[in-house]
DNA sequence: AGTAGCCAGTAACCAATAGATACTATCGGG
DNA sequence: CCCGATAGTATCTATTGGTTACTGGCTACT
């Protein structure tokens, strides 16, 4: 069993991580934070159409995973700053290779979709 | 606007692709196919706990995006073989960098989670 | 002759996740 | 003494994923 590699094992790290960063906003949040810390509303406005509840969930998970720090300033109005940890920054490189692939192939994907839709 | 790069633009290729391969099984299916074509049940058994309906949806989307081919053999019992297209194969490299990152950091992530859970 | 099994799905229904909208707490300024 | 700003929470709805059962044509078994 698993002769093609441990991808066939549901407990392998790749599958766990893909399941974690493979949700709707996690990878995007990490990429947005790559140039420096951002506040909650900066992330929310940057992502554009994310419900605050969902953004909070996403950031809490990233914090729990040790990829992001959450710093609360006891001010009024409140200020909360999110930043990447060293481990979070180390994720930028892999995500950037995916991002580059995306930019290189997005046109081909759109073309393929149009062709597929035309035949069906 | 968008002075940090077009990630702040919801229509950028990165966001579209992340939204597409960021679902629950797509990236895993591509990685499973990297060593050669697989039949429907091989993919299903390889992934382990995926409903056939959802796997079908995943594979149809990959086919529509031009990343996977679907070849039907008119036999009984039926045989359907899925394989990566050249574009699908080109996605292996970026996904592998993510996969490698995952394997390198899965322990640190688990540790961070335990610490976080202990403080809360 | 009858039937059970194989494979690649569909159909129908249920659970979990994401999204929309409204609301809260706090405090300084007008 | 009411307003606005920020970082959320509460509630409800919509979308997505999951579970279980079923189909259909042929082959192999009884």
Residues of A within 8 A of B28 (CB-CB) are: 7, 15, 18
CA of B79 to C1' of C1 (A): 29
Q: With respect to residue A1, please indicate whether it lies within any of the assigned structural domains.
A: no
Q: With respect to residue A86, please indicate whether it lies within any of the assigned structural domains.
A: yes
Does A74 sit behind a cis peptide bond, omega within 30 degrees of 0 on the bond before it? no
Give the DSSP letter of residue A71.
E
Residue B64 backbone phi and psi in degrees, to 5: -60, -35
Question: What stretch of H or E contains B7?
Answer: none
Quick check: B66 and A111 CB within 8 A?
yes
Q: How many distinct structural domains can be found in chain A? A: 1
Going across the sheet that includes B68-73, the strands are: B38-39, B79-84, B68-73
Q: With respect to residue B1, please indicate whether it lies within any of the assigned structural domains.
A: no
Predicted confidence (pLDDT) at residue A116 exceeds the cutoff of 90: yes
Instruction: Name the residue facing A17 among B20, B65, B102 (closest C-beta).
Output: B102
Between the alpha carbon of residue A90 and those of residues A5, B12, B23, B119, the distances in Å are 24, 23, 22, 25
Q: With respect to residue B73, please indicate whether it lies within any of the assigned structural domains.
A: yes
CA of A76 to C1' of D19 (A): 49
| The predicted structure's pLDDT at residue B1 | 39
CATH number at residue B33: 1.10.10.10
Domain that holds residue A105: 6-119
pLDDT digits (tens, 9 = 90+) for B4-60: 447 877 778 888 888 888 888 999 999 999 999 999 999 998 888 889 999 999 999
């Amino acid at each position: 069993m698993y002769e093609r590699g441990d991808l066939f094992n549901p407990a392998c790290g790749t599958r766990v991580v893909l399941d974690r960063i493979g949700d709707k906003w996690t990878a995007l949040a990490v990429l947005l934070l790559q140039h420096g810390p951002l506040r909650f509303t900066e992330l929310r406005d940057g992502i554009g159409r994310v419900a605050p509840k969902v953004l909070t969930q996403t950031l809490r998970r990233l914090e729990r995973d040790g990829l992001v720090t959450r710093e609360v300033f006891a001010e009024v109005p409140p200020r909360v700053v999110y930043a990447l940890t060293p481990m979070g920054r180390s994720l930028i490189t892999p995500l950037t290779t995916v991002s580059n692939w995306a930019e290189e192939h997005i046109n081909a994907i759109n073309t393929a979709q149009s062709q597929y839709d035309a035949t069906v």
